[in-house]
């Protein structure tokens, strides 16, 4: 399965099929104060460190538990069972909201900004990372739900300057950010995020990242995105918070 730019564009537009909430929720505080451990960005495969980066224990398990309990109170929408032409089949429940303040909390209040500025990884992001995408998405995959093979597109995002001025800066998203809130420890079986380095679905070449509570998975998207899928959850629930890295355009 080769890359198809038109298909990628259609895939990214699928985000628009679920309307974003107009009012941001009252997200729980980050307790304990983050980070609780020193982050060590790592690549699951050495020769793909420019495509996939993991940060383990980004959130402690108790914070993940508190957020799952909170997210269960939100009004989630089930994605359409019949995708549009050119879109990958996705079956899950989701909540989407534009929330600049929460994106800033994730960026400034977790240690993420400092971790991505470390010399060993700072050149991976495709430019100067200035913020996270305020388009916050929450995904719940229950038993039998999955996301078929697809690519994540890059998008242009206009952000307000954080210095209090009324000016905006043009940014583009370069890497997808996925924060896993559950794993086998909470009863989630299956649901691996699987990457295929040669843009074809081949079990011999797959790189499977199992859900891990508190794990942050970053993967490059846009023209250099790897073909990937979210495997079917066979028991329990997989909860994810998603946003993207925004670099100055």
DSSP for residue 120? T
- Of 30 and 161, more confident: 30
Superfamily of domain 5-14+40-248: q2cbj1_9rhob like domain (2.60.120.620)
Secondary structure (DSSP) of 59-108: S-HHHHHHHHHHHTTS--EEPPSSPPTTPPPEE-EEEEEE-HHHHHHHHH
What number is the average pLDDT over the span 75-86? 80
Over the stretch 56-76, which tens digit does the pLDDT of each residue have? Answer: 999 999 999 999 999 999 999
This prediction has a pTM of: 0.91
As a whole number of angstroms, the distance between CA 175 and CA 53 comes to 10
Mean pLDDT of 5-22: 49
Q: What is the pLDDT of residues 140-166, one digit of tens each?
A: 999 999 999 999 999 999 998 766 667
208 has which bridge partners?
Answer: 194
Q: What is the pLDDT of residue 5?
A: 40
Contacts of 167 (CB under 8 A, 6+ apart): 160, 161
- For 104-140, the pLDDT digits (tens) are 999 999 999 999 999 999 999 999 999 999 999 999 9
In this predicted structure, the answer to whether residue 9 has a pLDDT above a threshold of 80 is: no
Q: Kindly tell me if the per-residue pLDDT of 4 is higher than 90.
A: no
Q: Is the pLDDT of residue 80 over 50?
A: yes
Preceding peptide of 76 cis, ω within 30°: no
Helix (H) or strand (E) holding 7: helix 5-13
Radius of gyration of the chain (CA): 17
- d(Cα 220, Cα 201) in Å, to the nearest integer? 18
Q: What are phi and psi of 28, to 5 degrees?
A: -60, 155
pLDDT cut 70: percent of the chain above it: 89
Which of 24, 183, 22, 21 lies closest to 106, judged by CA? 24
Mean confidence (pLDDT) of the chain: 91
Q: Is residue 8 over pLDDT 70?
A: no
Coil vs helix vs strand at 213? coil
């Amino acid at each position: 399965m080769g890359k198809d730019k038109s298909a990628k564009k259609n895939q990214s537009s699928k985000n628009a099929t679920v309307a974003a909430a107009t009012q941001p929720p009252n997200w729980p505080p980050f307790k304990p104060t983050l980070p609780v451990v020193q982050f060590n960005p790592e690549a699951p495969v050495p020769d793909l460190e420019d495509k996939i980066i993991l940060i383990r224990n980004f959130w402690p398990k108790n914070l993940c538990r508190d957020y799952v309990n909170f997210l269960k109170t939100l009004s989630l929408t089930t994605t359409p069972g019949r995708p549009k032409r050119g879109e990958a089949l996705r079956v899950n429940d989701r909540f989407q909201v534009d929330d600049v303040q929460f994106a800033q909390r994730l960026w400034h209040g977790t240690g993420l900004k400092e971790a991505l500025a470390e010399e060993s990884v700072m050149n991976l992001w495709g430019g100067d990372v200035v913020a996270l995408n305020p388009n916050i998405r929450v995904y719940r995959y229950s038993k039998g739900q999955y996301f078929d093979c697809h690519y994540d597109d890059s998008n242009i995002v206009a952000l307000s300057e954080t210095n209090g001025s009324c000016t905006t800066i043009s940014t583009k998203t370069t890497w997808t950010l996925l924060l896993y809130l559950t794993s086998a420890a909470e009863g989630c079986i299956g649901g691996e995020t699987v990457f295929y380095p040669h843009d074809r679905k081949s079990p011999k070449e797959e790189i499977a990242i199992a859900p891990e509570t508190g794990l942050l998975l970053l993967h490059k998207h846009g023209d250099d995105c790897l073909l990937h899928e979210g495997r079917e959850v066979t028991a329990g629930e997989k909860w994810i918070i998603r946003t993207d890295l925004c670099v100055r355009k």
